[in-house]
Amino acid sequence: MNIIGLSAFYHESACCLLQDGRLVAAVAEERFSRVKHDARVPVQAFRYCLEAGGLSLPDVDVVAYYESPQKKLSRQLWAGVPEGDEELAWLDPHQPERAIRERLGYDGPILFFDHHQSHAASAFYFSGFRDAAILTVDGVGEWATTTYGRGEEAALEVFEKVHFPHSLGLLYATITSYLGFRVNNGEYKVMGLAPYGEPRFVDQIRQLIADGPGGQYTLAMDYFDFARGRRMFSPALCELFDAPPRVPESEITPFHCDVARSVQAVLEEMLMAKVRYLAGRVDSANLCMAGGVALNCVANGRIVCEGPFERLFVQPAAGDAGGCLGAAALAHIQKTGQRHSDESLARIFLGPRFSADDVASMLAATGLPAHDFRHREADLLDAVADRLARNQVVGWFHGAMEFGPRALGARSILANPLDPGIRDRLNAMIKKREAFRPFAPSVLAGHAAEHFDLDHPSPFMLETCRVVSPLALPCITHVDGSARPQTVERAHNPRFAALLEAFYRRTGCPMLVNTSFNVRGEPIVCTPADALLCMGRSGLDALVLEDFLIDRAMLPDTWEPLLAAWHSRRRSAFGRSKSAIEENLYTFV
Protein backbone atom coordinates (compact mmCIF):
# COMPACT_ATOMS: atom_id res chain seq x y z
CA MET A 1 0.00 0.00 0.00
CA ASN A 2 1.67 3.19 -1.26
CA ILE A 3 -0.06 6.37 -0.09
CA ILE A 4 1.12 9.87 -0.96
CA GLY A 5 -0.06 12.59 1.44
CA LEU A 6 -0.16 16.08 -0.05
CA SER A 7 -0.72 19.61 1.25
CA ALA A 8 -0.54 22.54 -1.14
CA PHE A 9 -1.88 25.83 -2.47
CA TYR A 10 -2.02 27.78 0.73
CA HIS A 11 0.98 28.36 2.96
CA GLU A 12 3.62 25.66 2.63
CA SER A 13 3.20 22.72 0.30
CA ALA A 14 4.61 19.31 1.18
CA CYS A 15 4.44 15.61 0.35
CA CYS A 16 4.90 12.44 2.33
CA LEU A 17 4.92 8.71 1.54
CA LEU A 18 3.36 5.99 3.69
CA GLN A 19 4.57 2.65 2.36
CA ASP A 20 2.88 -0.36 3.93
CA GLY A 21 2.24 1.78 6.98
CA ARG A 22 5.82 3.03 7.30
CA LEU A 23 6.57 6.73 6.93
CA VAL A 24 9.32 6.61 4.32
CA ALA A 25 9.60 10.24 3.24
CA ALA A 26 8.27 13.71 4.03
CA VAL A 27 9.53 17.02 2.69
CA ALA A 28 8.34 20.58 1.97
CA GLU A 29 8.56 21.95 -1.56
CA GLU A 30 10.43 25.05 -0.35
CA ARG A 31 13.54 23.00 0.34
CA PHE A 32 13.87 22.21 -3.38
CA SER A 33 12.55 25.43 -4.95
CA ARG A 34 14.38 27.66 -2.41
CA VAL A 35 11.24 29.83 -2.18
CA LYS A 36 10.39 30.16 1.49
CA HIS A 37 6.89 28.87 2.33
CA ASP A 38 6.42 27.83 -1.30
CA ALA A 39 2.71 26.99 -1.68
CA ARG A 40 2.77 25.80 -5.28
CA VAL A 41 2.00 22.24 -6.29
CA PRO A 42 4.90 20.23 -4.76
CA VAL A 43 6.31 18.74 -7.95
CA GLN A 44 9.81 18.20 -6.65
CA ALA A 45 8.68 16.95 -3.23
CA PHE A 46 6.36 14.48 -4.98
CA ARG A 47 9.21 13.27 -7.18
CA TYR A 48 11.44 12.84 -4.13
CA CYS A 49 8.80 10.73 -2.35
CA LEU A 50 8.56 8.44 -5.38
CA GLU A 51 12.34 8.07 -5.51
CA ALA A 52 12.59 7.43 -1.76
CA GLY A 53 10.06 4.60 -2.07
CA GLY A 54 11.49 3.19 -5.28
CA LEU A 55 8.16 3.87 -6.99
CA SER A 56 6.85 4.87 -10.37
CA LEU A 57 3.51 6.64 -10.80
CA PRO A 58 1.45 3.46 -11.36
CA ASP A 59 2.72 2.12 -8.01
CA VAL A 60 0.89 4.87 -6.07
CA ASP A 61 -2.38 3.44 -4.70
CA VAL A 62 -3.89 6.74 -3.62
CA VAL A 63 -3.07 10.44 -3.17
CA ALA A 64 -4.56 11.91 0.01
CA TYR A 65 -5.19 15.66 -0.01
CA TYR A 66 -5.26 17.54 3.29
CA GLU A 67 -8.41 19.64 2.92
CA SER A 68 -11.80 19.89 1.20
CA PRO A 69 -11.70 22.39 -1.69
CA GLN A 70 -15.51 22.63 -1.93
CA LYS A 71 -15.94 23.49 1.77
CA LYS A 72 -13.06 25.94 1.59
CA LEU A 73 -14.65 27.69 -1.39
CA SER A 74 -17.93 28.15 0.49
CA ARG A 75 -16.10 30.03 3.23
CA GLN A 76 -14.17 32.11 0.69
CA LEU A 77 -17.39 33.08 -1.08
CA TRP A 78 -18.97 34.01 2.24
CA ALA A 79 -16.06 36.33 2.99
CA GLY A 80 -16.22 37.90 -0.47
CA VAL A 81 -13.57 38.64 -3.08
CA PRO A 82 -10.57 40.41 -1.49
CA GLU A 83 -10.27 44.00 -2.65
CA GLY A 84 -7.90 44.31 -5.60
CA ASP A 85 -7.91 40.58 -6.36
CA GLU A 86 -8.22 40.40 -10.14
CA GLU A 87 -7.27 36.73 -10.46
CA LEU A 88 -10.21 34.50 -9.63
CA ALA A 89 -8.59 31.10 -10.21
CA TRP A 90 -9.24 30.31 -6.55
CA LEU A 91 -12.98 30.19 -7.31
CA ASP A 92 -12.46 26.78 -8.91
CA PRO A 93 -12.75 24.01 -6.28
CA HIS A 94 -11.34 21.52 -8.80
CA GLN A 95 -7.99 23.32 -8.95
CA PRO A 96 -6.18 20.96 -6.53
CA GLU A 97 -7.35 17.83 -8.35
CA ARG A 98 -6.51 19.30 -11.75
CA ALA A 99 -3.02 20.25 -10.54
CA ILE A 100 -2.45 16.75 -9.19
CA ARG A 101 -3.53 15.29 -12.53
CA GLU A 102 -1.75 17.72 -14.81
CA ARG A 103 1.35 18.78 -12.87
CA LEU A 104 2.09 15.51 -11.11
CA GLY A 105 0.82 13.25 -13.88
CA TYR A 106 -1.18 11.13 -11.48
CA ASP A 107 -4.40 9.53 -12.75
CA GLY A 108 -5.26 7.23 -9.82
CA PRO A 109 -7.65 7.67 -6.87
CA ILE A 110 -7.59 10.91 -4.84
CA LEU A 111 -9.09 11.18 -1.36
CA PHE A 112 -9.95 14.52 0.24
CA PHE A 113 -10.10 15.11 3.99
CA ASP A 114 -11.07 18.18 6.00
CA HIS A 115 -8.20 20.49 6.95
CA HIS A 116 -8.57 20.12 10.72
CA GLN A 117 -9.29 16.42 10.41
CA SER A 118 -5.89 16.12 8.73
CA HIS A 119 -4.31 18.19 11.52
CA ALA A 120 -5.93 15.99 14.18
CA ALA A 121 -4.86 12.80 12.44
CA SER A 122 -1.31 14.08 11.99
CA ALA A 123 -1.04 14.40 15.77
CA PHE A 124 -2.98 11.39 17.06
CA TYR A 125 -1.92 8.69 14.59
CA PHE A 126 1.76 9.61 14.94
CA SER A 127 1.73 10.01 18.74
CA GLY A 128 1.90 6.35 19.68
CA PHE A 129 -1.01 6.90 22.09
CA ARG A 130 -3.81 4.34 22.09
CA ASP A 131 -6.21 7.04 23.25
CA ALA A 132 -5.98 10.82 23.51
CA ALA A 133 -7.80 14.12 23.60
CA ILE A 134 -7.06 16.12 20.46
CA LEU A 135 -6.84 19.90 20.07
CA THR A 136 -6.16 21.62 16.75
CA VAL A 137 -5.71 25.39 16.52
CA ASP A 138 -4.66 27.50 13.54
CA GLY A 139 -5.77 30.47 11.45
CA VAL A 140 -8.48 28.72 9.45
CA GLY A 141 -9.00 25.58 7.43
CA GLU A 142 -12.26 25.35 5.48
CA TRP A 143 -14.50 26.90 8.15
CA ALA A 144 -12.99 25.52 11.35
CA THR A 145 -10.29 27.42 13.24
CA THR A 146 -10.22 25.31 16.42
CA THR A 147 -11.43 21.73 16.92
CA TYR A 148 -11.85 19.43 19.89
CA GLY A 149 -11.75 15.68 19.49
CA ARG A 150 -10.87 12.28 20.83
CA GLY A 151 -8.95 9.38 19.40
CA GLU A 152 -9.09 5.73 20.37
CA GLU A 153 -7.25 3.01 18.45
CA ALA A 154 -8.13 3.67 14.78
CA ALA A 155 -11.12 5.90 15.54
CA LEU A 156 -10.93 9.70 15.51
CA GLU A 157 -13.89 11.91 16.36
CA VAL A 158 -14.07 15.70 16.19
CA PHE A 159 -16.99 16.67 18.42
CA GLU A 160 -16.80 20.48 18.51
CA LYS A 161 -15.51 23.27 16.30
CA VAL A 162 -15.00 27.01 16.41
CA HIS A 163 -15.76 28.58 13.05
CA PHE A 164 -14.28 31.41 11.01
CA PRO A 165 -13.91 34.35 11.46
CA HIS A 166 -13.36 33.59 15.14
CA SER A 167 -9.82 32.31 15.45
CA LEU A 168 -6.99 32.29 17.97
CA GLY A 169 -4.55 31.96 15.11
CA LEU A 170 -5.95 35.03 13.38
CA LEU A 171 -5.91 36.99 16.64
CA TYR A 172 -2.20 36.28 17.00
CA ALA A 173 -1.57 36.93 13.28
CA THR A 174 -3.34 40.28 13.52
CA ILE A 175 -1.10 41.44 16.36
CA THR A 176 1.87 40.05 14.42
CA SER A 177 0.93 42.34 11.53
CA TYR A 178 0.30 45.30 13.85
CA LEU A 179 3.80 44.82 15.26
CA GLY A 180 5.31 45.05 11.78
CA PHE A 181 6.08 41.36 11.17
CA ARG A 182 4.84 39.25 8.29
CA VAL A 183 1.79 37.13 8.98
CA ASN A 184 2.18 33.37 8.56
CA ASN A 185 5.89 33.92 9.09
CA GLY A 186 6.58 36.30 11.96
CA GLU A 187 4.38 34.89 14.71
CA TYR A 188 7.38 33.20 16.32
CA LYS A 189 9.06 36.61 16.45
CA VAL A 190 6.17 37.91 18.54
CA MET A 191 6.60 34.92 20.84
CA GLY A 192 10.34 35.65 21.13
CA LEU A 193 9.75 39.36 21.71
CA ALA A 194 7.15 38.83 24.43
CA PRO A 195 9.52 38.16 27.38
CA TYR A 196 11.10 41.58 26.88
CA GLY A 197 7.82 43.31 27.71
CA GLU A 198 5.24 43.67 30.45
CA PRO A 199 1.62 42.50 30.08
CA ARG A 200 0.22 46.01 30.47
CA PHE A 201 -2.11 45.68 27.46
CA VAL A 202 -3.80 42.47 28.55
CA ASP A 203 -7.08 44.27 29.14
CA GLN A 204 -7.00 45.70 25.61
CA ILE A 205 -6.23 42.28 24.11
CA ARG A 206 -9.10 40.77 26.08
CA GLN A 207 -11.41 43.27 24.39
CA LEU A 208 -10.50 41.58 21.10
CA ILE A 209 -11.70 38.12 22.14
CA ALA A 210 -14.50 36.86 24.37
CA ASP A 211 -14.52 33.43 25.95
CA GLY A 212 -17.65 31.41 25.30
CA PRO A 213 -19.33 28.27 26.59
CA GLY A 214 -17.52 24.96 26.18
CA GLY A 215 -14.84 25.26 23.54
CA GLN A 216 -16.27 28.41 21.96
CA TYR A 217 -14.93 31.97 21.79
CA THR A 218 -15.57 34.98 19.54
CA LEU A 219 -13.50 37.81 18.12
CA ALA A 220 -14.73 41.39 18.34
CA MET A 221 -14.74 41.89 14.57
CA ASP A 222 -14.79 45.70 14.72
CA TYR A 223 -11.06 45.50 15.40
CA PHE A 224 -10.26 43.17 12.49
CA ASP A 225 -10.25 43.59 8.72
CA PHE A 226 -8.67 40.34 7.51
CA ALA A 227 -11.67 38.87 5.68
CA ARG A 228 -12.39 41.62 3.14
CA GLY A 229 -9.76 44.27 3.64
CA ARG A 230 -6.19 44.95 2.63
CA ARG A 231 -4.69 44.38 6.06
CA MET A 232 -5.34 42.32 9.17
CA PHE A 233 -6.66 45.02 11.50
CA SER A 234 -9.07 47.94 11.31
CA PRO A 235 -8.37 51.51 12.49
CA ALA A 236 -10.17 50.60 15.71
CA LEU A 237 -7.22 48.45 16.78
CA CYS A 238 -4.85 51.41 16.48
CA GLU A 239 -7.29 53.49 18.51
CA LEU A 240 -7.46 50.76 21.14
CA PHE A 241 -3.68 50.87 21.62
CA ASP A 242 -3.53 54.64 20.96
CA ALA A 243 -0.60 54.06 18.59
CA PRO A 244 -0.07 53.48 14.88
CA PRO A 245 1.18 50.10 13.64
CA ARG A 246 4.92 49.56 13.63
CA VAL A 247 6.59 50.09 10.27
CA PRO A 248 8.38 46.87 9.25
CA GLU A 249 12.13 46.89 9.97
CA SER A 250 11.81 50.02 12.13
CA GLU A 251 12.89 50.32 15.75
CA ILE A 252 11.28 47.98 18.26
CA THR A 253 10.25 49.98 21.33
CA PRO A 254 9.13 48.94 24.83
CA PHE A 255 5.55 49.54 23.64
CA HIS A 256 5.92 46.84 20.99
CA CYS A 257 7.42 44.46 23.54
CA ASP A 258 4.49 45.09 25.89
CA VAL A 259 1.93 44.39 23.15
CA ALA A 260 3.74 41.15 22.29
CA ARG A 261 3.81 40.10 25.93
CA SER A 262 0.12 40.88 26.29
CA VAL A 263 -1.08 38.90 23.28
CA GLN A 264 1.11 35.96 24.30
CA ALA A 265 -0.41 36.07 27.79
CA VAL A 266 -3.96 36.08 26.47
CA LEU A 267 -3.21 33.28 24.00
CA GLU A 268 -1.85 31.13 26.82
CA GLU A 269 -4.83 32.04 29.00
CA MET A 270 -7.29 30.97 26.28
CA LEU A 271 -5.42 27.77 25.43
CA MET A 272 -5.21 26.73 29.07
CA ALA A 273 -8.96 27.29 29.47
CA LYS A 274 -9.76 25.23 26.38
CA VAL A 275 -7.36 22.45 27.34
CA ARG A 276 -9.09 22.18 30.71
CA TYR A 277 -12.46 22.09 28.98
CA LEU A 278 -11.20 19.32 26.69
CA ALA A 279 -9.96 17.32 29.69
CA GLY A 280 -13.47 17.43 31.09
CA ARG A 281 -14.87 16.01 27.86
CA VAL A 282 -12.30 13.29 27.11
CA ASP A 283 -11.25 10.68 29.66
CA SER A 284 -7.58 10.30 28.74
CA ALA A 285 -4.22 11.16 30.24
CA ASN A 286 -2.91 12.10 26.79
CA LEU A 287 -3.24 15.27 24.74
CA CYS A 288 -2.34 15.61 21.05
CA MET A 289 -2.02 19.02 19.36
CA ALA A 290 -1.51 20.25 15.83
CA GLY A 291 -2.15 23.35 13.73
CA GLY A 292 0.08 26.39 13.45
CA VAL A 293 -0.70 27.63 16.97
CA ALA A 294 0.66 24.33 18.32
CA LEU A 295 4.11 25.59 17.28
CA ASN A 296 3.92 28.18 20.07
CA CYS A 297 6.41 26.41 22.30
CA VAL A 298 5.92 28.81 25.22
CA ALA A 299 2.23 27.94 25.40
CA ASN A 300 3.10 24.26 25.02
CA GLY A 301 5.45 24.51 27.98
CA ARG A 302 2.64 25.90 30.13
CA ILE A 303 0.24 23.18 28.99
CA VAL A 304 2.78 20.53 29.96
CA CYS A 305 3.54 22.04 33.37
CA GLU A 306 0.13 23.39 34.42
CA GLY A 307 -2.37 21.52 32.29
CA PRO A 308 -4.56 18.57 33.30
CA PHE A 309 -2.97 16.01 30.98
CA GLU A 310 -0.03 13.80 31.91
CA ARG A 311 1.47 13.62 28.43
CA LEU A 312 1.50 15.97 25.43
CA PHE A 313 2.40 15.11 21.84
CA VAL A 314 2.77 17.94 19.34
CA GLN A 315 3.27 16.86 15.77
CA PRO A 316 6.68 18.35 14.86
CA ALA A 317 5.51 19.75 11.51
CA ALA A 318 2.34 21.03 13.15
CA GLY A 319 1.57 23.69 10.53
CA ASP A 320 0.01 23.17 7.14
CA ALA A 321 2.99 21.26 5.75
CA GLY A 322 2.37 18.52 8.29
CA GLY A 323 -1.23 18.16 7.15
CA CYS A 324 0.04 15.76 4.50
CA LEU A 325 0.92 13.28 7.28
CA GLY A 326 -2.60 13.31 8.64
CA ALA A 327 -4.18 12.95 5.21
CA ALA A 328 -1.98 9.94 4.46
CA ALA A 329 -2.83 8.34 7.83
CA LEU A 330 -6.56 8.85 7.23
CA ALA A 331 -6.29 7.33 3.77
CA HIS A 332 -4.52 4.30 5.24
CA ILE A 333 -7.39 3.77 7.68
CA GLN A 334 -9.98 4.18 4.93
CA LYS A 335 -8.18 1.63 2.77
CA THR A 336 -7.26 -0.94 5.44
CA GLY A 337 -9.49 -0.28 8.45
CA GLN A 338 -6.40 0.02 10.67
CA ARG A 339 -4.12 2.84 11.80
CA HIS A 340 -0.79 2.72 10.02
CA SER A 341 1.31 2.40 13.20
CA ASP A 342 1.05 2.15 16.97
CA GLU A 343 4.49 3.72 17.47
CA SER A 344 5.33 7.31 18.27
CA LEU A 345 7.03 9.38 15.62
CA ALA A 346 10.50 9.40 17.13
CA ARG A 347 12.58 10.43 14.11
CA ILE A 348 11.75 13.18 11.66
CA PHE A 349 14.74 12.75 9.33
CA LEU A 350 12.64 12.02 6.26
CA GLY A 351 14.12 14.22 3.53
CA PRO A 352 16.92 13.84 0.98
CA ARG A 353 20.29 12.52 2.04
CA PHE A 354 23.64 12.63 0.25
CA SER A 355 26.51 10.21 0.56
CA ALA A 356 30.12 11.12 1.25
CA ASP A 357 30.87 10.10 -2.34
CA ASP A 358 28.24 12.57 -3.58
CA VAL A 359 30.00 15.32 -1.65
CA ALA A 360 33.41 14.18 -2.90
CA SER A 361 32.20 14.41 -6.50
CA MET A 362 30.86 17.92 -5.98
CA LEU A 363 34.08 19.10 -4.34
CA ALA A 364 36.14 17.61 -7.12
CA ALA A 365 33.99 19.36 -9.73
CA THR A 366 34.32 22.76 -8.02
CA GLY A 367 37.97 22.40 -7.09
CA LEU A 368 37.21 23.31 -3.46
CA PRO A 369 39.74 22.09 -0.89
CA ALA A 370 38.42 20.11 2.09
CA HIS A 371 39.62 17.86 4.90
CA ASP A 372 38.63 14.29 4.02
CA PHE A 373 37.53 12.24 7.04
CA ARG A 374 35.97 9.30 5.24
CA HIS A 375 36.14 6.18 7.42
CA ARG A 376 37.45 8.34 10.31
CA GLU A 377 34.32 9.53 12.06
CA ALA A 378 35.97 9.88 15.49
CA ASP A 379 38.64 12.14 14.02
CA LEU A 380 35.99 14.25 12.28
CA LEU A 381 34.03 14.69 15.50
CA ASP A 382 37.15 15.64 17.44
CA ALA A 383 38.06 18.21 14.79
CA VAL A 384 34.58 19.74 14.88
CA ALA A 385 34.39 19.70 18.68
CA ASP A 386 37.77 21.46 18.81
CA ARG A 387 36.54 24.23 16.51
CA LEU A 388 33.35 24.65 18.51
CA ALA A 389 35.32 24.79 21.76
CA ARG A 390 37.37 27.59 20.21
CA ASN A 391 34.10 29.48 19.65
CA GLN A 392 33.90 28.89 15.94
CA VAL A 393 30.49 28.64 14.28
CA VAL A 394 30.04 25.47 12.26
CA GLY A 395 27.52 24.49 9.60
CA TRP A 396 26.51 20.86 10.15
CA PHE A 397 25.16 18.84 7.21
CA HIS A 398 24.61 15.13 7.80
CA GLY A 399 22.14 12.43 6.85
CA ALA A 400 18.53 12.84 5.82
CA MET A 401 17.00 16.31 6.12
CA GLU A 402 14.49 17.06 8.89
CA PHE A 403 10.77 17.52 8.14
CA GLY A 404 9.25 20.57 9.79
CA PRO A 405 10.47 24.04 10.78
CA ARG A 406 13.12 23.00 13.32
CA ALA A 407 16.73 22.04 12.66
CA LEU A 408 17.37 18.92 14.73
CA GLY A 409 20.93 17.97 13.91
CA ALA A 410 20.81 17.20 10.20
CA ARG A 411 20.81 20.72 8.72
CA SER A 412 22.01 22.84 11.65
CA ILE A 413 24.29 25.73 12.51
CA LEU A 414 26.13 24.90 15.72
CA ALA A 415 28.00 27.02 18.25
CA ASN A 416 29.43 26.99 21.78
CA PRO A 417 26.75 27.96 24.34
CA LEU A 418 29.46 28.97 26.83
CA ASP A 419 30.66 31.83 24.60
CA PRO A 420 29.13 35.06 26.02
CA GLY A 421 29.31 36.85 22.65
CA ILE A 422 27.98 34.12 20.42
CA ARG A 423 24.32 35.18 20.45
CA ASP A 424 25.02 38.65 19.04
CA ARG A 425 27.42 37.21 16.48
CA LEU A 426 24.93 34.58 15.34
CA ASN A 427 22.12 37.10 14.98
CA ALA A 428 24.18 39.79 13.26
CA MET A 429 26.66 37.90 11.09
CA ILE A 430 25.30 34.41 10.58
CA LYS A 431 21.51 34.48 10.66
CA LYS A 432 21.23 38.20 9.80
CA ARG A 433 18.12 38.64 11.93
CA GLU A 434 16.71 40.69 14.82
CA ALA A 435 18.92 40.91 17.91
CA PHE A 436 16.14 39.93 20.35
CA ARG A 437 15.72 36.48 18.84
CA PRO A 438 16.76 33.61 21.16
CA PHE A 439 18.62 30.43 20.20
CA ALA A 440 17.85 26.88 21.22
CA PRO A 441 20.14 24.24 22.72
CA SER A 442 20.56 20.61 21.73
CA VAL A 443 21.47 18.59 24.81
CA LEU A 444 22.37 14.97 25.42
CA ALA A 445 19.19 13.35 26.74
CA GLY A 446 20.98 11.81 29.71
CA HIS A 447 22.15 15.25 30.90
CA ALA A 448 19.03 17.31 30.15
CA ALA A 449 17.65 17.32 33.71
CA GLU A 450 20.95 18.69 35.05
CA HIS A 451 20.51 21.87 33.02
CA PHE A 452 16.78 22.25 32.32
CA ASP A 453 13.58 21.87 34.32
CA LEU A 454 12.60 18.98 32.08
CA ASP A 455 11.64 15.46 33.18
CA HIS A 456 10.73 13.94 29.81
CA PRO A 457 12.18 13.76 26.29
CA SER A 458 11.76 16.80 24.03
CA PRO A 459 13.21 15.65 20.70
CA PHE A 460 11.49 18.23 18.47
CA MET A 461 12.14 21.58 20.25
CA LEU A 462 8.42 22.17 20.80
CA GLU A 463 8.25 23.38 24.41
CA THR A 464 10.08 25.81 26.64
CA CYS A 465 11.22 25.24 30.20
CA ARG A 466 13.34 26.94 32.85
CA VAL A 467 17.12 26.83 32.63
CA VAL A 468 18.50 25.42 35.90
CA SER A 469 22.06 24.78 34.75
CA PRO A 470 25.08 25.47 36.96
CA LEU A 471 26.79 26.68 33.77
CA ALA A 472 26.50 30.21 32.44
CA LEU A 473 24.60 29.77 29.16
CA PRO A 474 23.78 33.29 27.92
CA CYS A 475 23.16 32.35 24.30
CA ILE A 476 20.45 29.76 24.90
CA THR A 477 18.87 31.38 27.98
CA HIS A 478 16.12 33.80 27.03
CA VAL A 479 15.54 37.03 28.95
CA ASP A 480 12.91 35.29 31.10
CA GLY A 481 15.27 32.46 32.08
CA SER A 482 13.74 29.92 29.70
CA ALA A 483 15.05 27.81 26.84
CA ARG A 484 13.62 25.59 24.09
CA PRO A 485 15.77 22.46 24.32
CA GLN A 486 16.09 19.50 22.00
CA THR A 487 17.00 16.28 23.80
CA VAL A 488 19.26 14.09 21.67
CA GLU A 489 19.56 10.32 21.89
CA ARG A 490 22.05 8.10 20.09
CA ALA A 491 19.26 5.79 18.90
CA HIS A 492 17.65 8.59 16.89
CA ASN A 493 20.63 10.64 15.68
CA PRO A 494 23.87 8.76 16.38
CA ARG A 495 26.41 11.09 14.75
CA PHE A 496 24.92 14.25 16.26
CA ALA A 497 24.82 12.59 19.69
CA ALA A 498 28.44 11.54 19.24
CA LEU A 499 29.40 15.14 18.43
CA LEU A 500 27.68 16.35 21.60
CA GLU A 501 29.58 13.71 23.57
CA ALA A 502 32.88 14.82 22.01
CA PHE A 503 32.14 18.44 22.92
CA TYR A 504 31.16 17.38 26.46
CA ARG A 505 34.45 15.53 26.95
CA ARG A 506 36.33 18.62 25.83
CA THR A 507 34.39 21.31 27.72
CA GLY A 508 32.19 19.69 30.39
CA CYS A 509 29.14 21.11 28.62
CA PRO A 510 26.79 18.45 27.14
CA MET A 511 24.99 20.78 24.76
CA LEU A 512 25.44 23.01 21.74
CA VAL A 513 23.62 26.00 20.34
CA ASN A 514 21.57 24.61 17.46
CA THR A 515 19.85 26.90 14.96
CA SER A 516 18.53 26.16 11.51
CA PHE A 517 21.01 26.09 8.62
CA ASN A 518 19.81 29.11 6.67
CA VAL A 519 20.04 32.87 6.59
CA ARG A 520 17.11 35.24 6.95
CA GLY A 521 14.53 34.88 4.19
CA GLU A 522 15.84 31.53 2.96
CA PRO A 523 14.53 28.01 3.60
CA ILE A 524 16.73 25.56 5.49
CA VAL A 525 19.39 24.12 3.18
CA CYS A 526 18.63 20.85 1.43
CA THR A 527 21.66 19.93 -0.69
CA PRO A 528 25.44 20.23 -0.23
CA ALA A 529 25.40 23.02 -2.83
CA ASP A 530 22.80 24.90 -0.74
CA ALA A 531 25.05 24.52 2.30
CA LEU A 532 28.07 25.91 0.44
CA LEU A 533 25.98 28.82 -0.81
CA CYS A 534 24.80 29.57 2.72
CA MET A 535 28.40 29.45 3.98
CA GLY A 536 29.39 31.97 1.34
CA ARG A 537 26.56 34.32 2.31
CA SER A 538 27.08 34.08 6.07
CA GLY A 539 29.91 34.25 8.57
CA LEU A 540 30.31 30.51 9.16
CA ASP A 541 33.82 29.59 10.24
CA ALA A 542 33.60 25.99 9.07
CA LEU A 543 31.28 23.62 7.26
CA VAL A 544 30.80 19.88 7.69
CA LEU A 545 29.45 18.12 4.60
CA GLU A 546 29.02 14.50 5.63
CA ASP A 547 32.64 13.25 6.03
CA PHE A 548 34.29 16.43 4.77
CA LEU A 549 35.26 19.53 6.74
CA ILE A 550 35.82 22.88 5.04
CA ASP A 551 37.36 25.77 6.95
CA ARG A 552 36.46 29.25 5.76
CA ALA A 553 40.12 30.08 5.47
CA MET A 554 40.39 27.36 2.82
CA LEU A 555 37.95 29.07 0.44
CA PRO A 556 39.50 31.00 -2.46
CA ASP A 557 39.04 34.77 -2.53
CA THR A 558 36.79 34.53 -5.58
CA TRP A 559 34.36 32.08 -4.02
CA GLU A 560 32.00 34.54 -2.27
CA PRO A 561 31.27 36.79 -5.30
CA LEU A 562 30.79 33.70 -7.46
CA LEU A 563 28.31 32.32 -4.93
CA ALA A 564 26.53 35.69 -4.75
CA ALA A 565 26.14 35.80 -8.54
CA TRP A 566 24.89 32.20 -8.59
CA HIS A 567 22.44 32.99 -5.81
CA SER A 568 21.05 35.95 -7.76
CA ARG A 569 20.52 33.81 -10.87
CA ARG A 570 18.77 31.09 -8.85
CA ARG A 571 16.39 33.59 -7.25
CA SER A 572 15.57 34.99 -10.70
CA ALA A 573 14.84 31.51 -11.97
CA PHE A 574 12.85 30.19 -8.99
CA GLY A 575 11.86 33.23 -6.97
CA ARG A 576 8.42 34.69 -6.48
CA SER A 577 8.07 38.12 -4.98
CA LYS A 578 5.25 38.93 -2.59
CA SER A 579 3.38 42.19 -2.69
CA ALA A 580 3.22 44.41 0.38
CA ILE A 581 -0.44 43.42 0.73
CA GLU A 582 0.39 39.70 0.76
CA GLU A 583 3.02 40.24 3.42
CA ASN A 584 0.58 41.99 5.74
CA LEU A 585 -2.61 40.02 5.18
CA TYR A 586 -3.48 36.46 6.03
CA THR A 587 -4.06 34.90 2.60
CA PHE A 588 -7.37 33.07 2.43
CA VAL A 589 -7.19 31.90 -1.17
List residues with catalytic annotation: 11
Q: Which of 251, 261, 252 has its CA nearest to residue 190?
A: 261
Q: Are 546 and 397 in contact (CB under 8 A)?
A: yes
CB 468 within 8 Å of CB 552: no
Q: Please, which contacts does 385-391 make with residues 24 or more away whose CB atoms are closer than 8 Å?
A: 385/499, 385/502, 385/503, 385/505, 385/506, 386/506, 387/541, 387/542, 388/414, 388/415, 388/416, 388/503, 388/512, 389/416, 389/503, 389/506, 389/507, 391/415, 391/416, 391/419, 391/421, 391/422
Tell me the three state secondary structure of residue 52: helix
Report cis status (omega within 30 of 0) of the bond before 165: yes
**Cα 486 from Cα 245, distance rounded (Å):** 35
- The two beta strands, 155-163 and 144-152, are antiparallel
User: Rounded CA gap, 339 and 276, in Å?
Assistant: 28
3-class secondary-structure state, position 41: coil
Q: How far apart are CA 247 and CA 180, in angstroms?
A: 5
Say if strands 440-444 and 486-488 run parallel, antiparallel, or are unpaired: parallel
8 Å CB contact between 237 and 221: no
Upper half-sphere CA count for residue 509 (Cβ side, 13 Å): 20
Show Cβ contacts of residue 149 under 8 Å, excluding neighbours closer than 6 positions: 120, 133, 134, 135, 136, 156, 157, 158, 159
Q: Please return the burial class of 345, using the count of CB atoms within 10 Å of its CB with bins 0-12, 13-18 and 19+.
A: buried
Strand partners, 19: 2, 22
What is the helix (H) or strand (E) element at residue 544, kind and residue range?
strand 542-545
Return phi, psi of residue 251, to 5°. Answer: -60, 140
Helix (H, G, I), strand (E, B) or coil at 442: strand
Chain center to CA of 56: 30
- Is 557 exposed, middle or buried (CB count within 10 Å of its CB: 0-12, 13-18, 19+)? exposed
End-to-end CA distance of the chain: 33
The continuous run of DSSP H or E covering 408 comes out as none
Other CB atoms within a 10 A radius of the CB of residue 363 amount to 18
